[in-house]
Structure 1
Amino acid sequence: MNREFYSDRGDLEISGAGKSGGGKYNRVEVNGASKINGDIECVEFEASGAAKFEGNVKTVSYNVSGATKCLGNVEADFCEIRGAGKIEGNLHSKDSKIEGSFKVGGNFIGEIIDIQGAAKIIGDCEAEDFICSGAITIGGLLNSEKVSIDIAGRSEIPEIGGKIINVKLAPFGIGFLSKITKALFNTSVNELNCNVIEGDEIYLEGTEARIIRGNDVVIGKKCTIQRVEYKNSLSVDPSSKVLEQIKL
Structure 2
Amino acid sequence: MNQDRQRKLTITGTGSTSGGVFQSVRITGEAEIHGDTESDSLSCTGNCSVSGSVISRTARIVGEFEIDGDLKAGKLTALGQLKISGSAKGGVFKIKGQLDTGGECEAERFENNGAFQIYGLLSADRVDIGMYGPCYAREIGGAAIRVKRGRWQGVKELFTRSGAAQLKAETIEGDSIYVEHTKADVIRGNTVIIGPACDIGLVEYRSSLELNKGSVVHAQKQTK
Same fold (TM over 0.5): yes
Q: Name the residue aligned to 1:224.
A: 199
Cα distance in 1 for residues equivalent to 2:207 and 2:6: 55
Cα distance in 2 for residues equivalent to 1:85 and 1:179: 20
Among 142, 161, 170, the alignment partner of 2:150 is 170
Alignment partner of 1:34 is 2:15:
yes
Q: CA deviation at 1:181?
A: 2.5
Cα distance in 2 for residues equivalent to 1:164 and 1:114: 16
- List structure 1 runs of 4+ shifted beyond 3 angstroms: none
Higher strand share: 2
Q: Count the aligned residue pairs.
A: 223
Q: Name the residue aligned to 1:100.
A: 80
Distance 1:243 1:111, change over 3 A: same
Give yes or no for contact 1:91–1:108 (8 Å, CA) kept in 2.
yes
Cα distance in 2 for residues equivalent to 1:72 and 1:81: 17
Q: Name the residue aligned to 1:139.
A: 119
Deviation readout 1:12-70 (Å, 9 max, x if unpaired): xxxxxxxxxxx765221112220013x32111110121200011111000111211111
Cα distance in 1 for residues equivalent to 2:148 and 2:45: 28
Describe the SS at the equivalent of 1:239: coil
Among 118, 125, 135, the alignment partner of 1:155 is 135
Give yes or no for contact 1:53–1:70 (8 Å, CA) kept in 2.
yes
Among 159, 164, 167, the alignment partner of 1:189 is 164
Query: What is the percentage of aligned positions where both structures have the same residue?
Result: 30
Unmatched runs of 5 consecutive residues or more in structure 2: none
Unmatched runs of 5 consecutive residues or more in structure 1: 10-22
Deviation readout 1:77-129 (Å, 9 max, x if unpaired): 00111101111111100100011111011110001011111111111000111
Listed as ranges, the matches of 1:18-167 within 5 Å are: 25-37=6-18, 39-167=19-147
What TM-score do you get using the length of structure 2 for normalisation? 0.96
Q: CA deviation at 1:179?
A: 2.1
Letter in 2 for 1:80: R
* Higher CA-based Rg: 1
What TM-score do you get using the length of structure 1 for normalisation? 0.87
Letter in 2 for 1:91: L
Give yes or no for contact 2:5–2:39 (8 Å, CA) kept in 1.
no
Letter in 2 for 1:28: L
Q: CA deviation at 1:139?
A: 0.7
Q: Name the residue aligned to 1:202.
A: 177
Give yes or no for contact 2:5–2:23 (8 Å, CA) kept in 1.
no
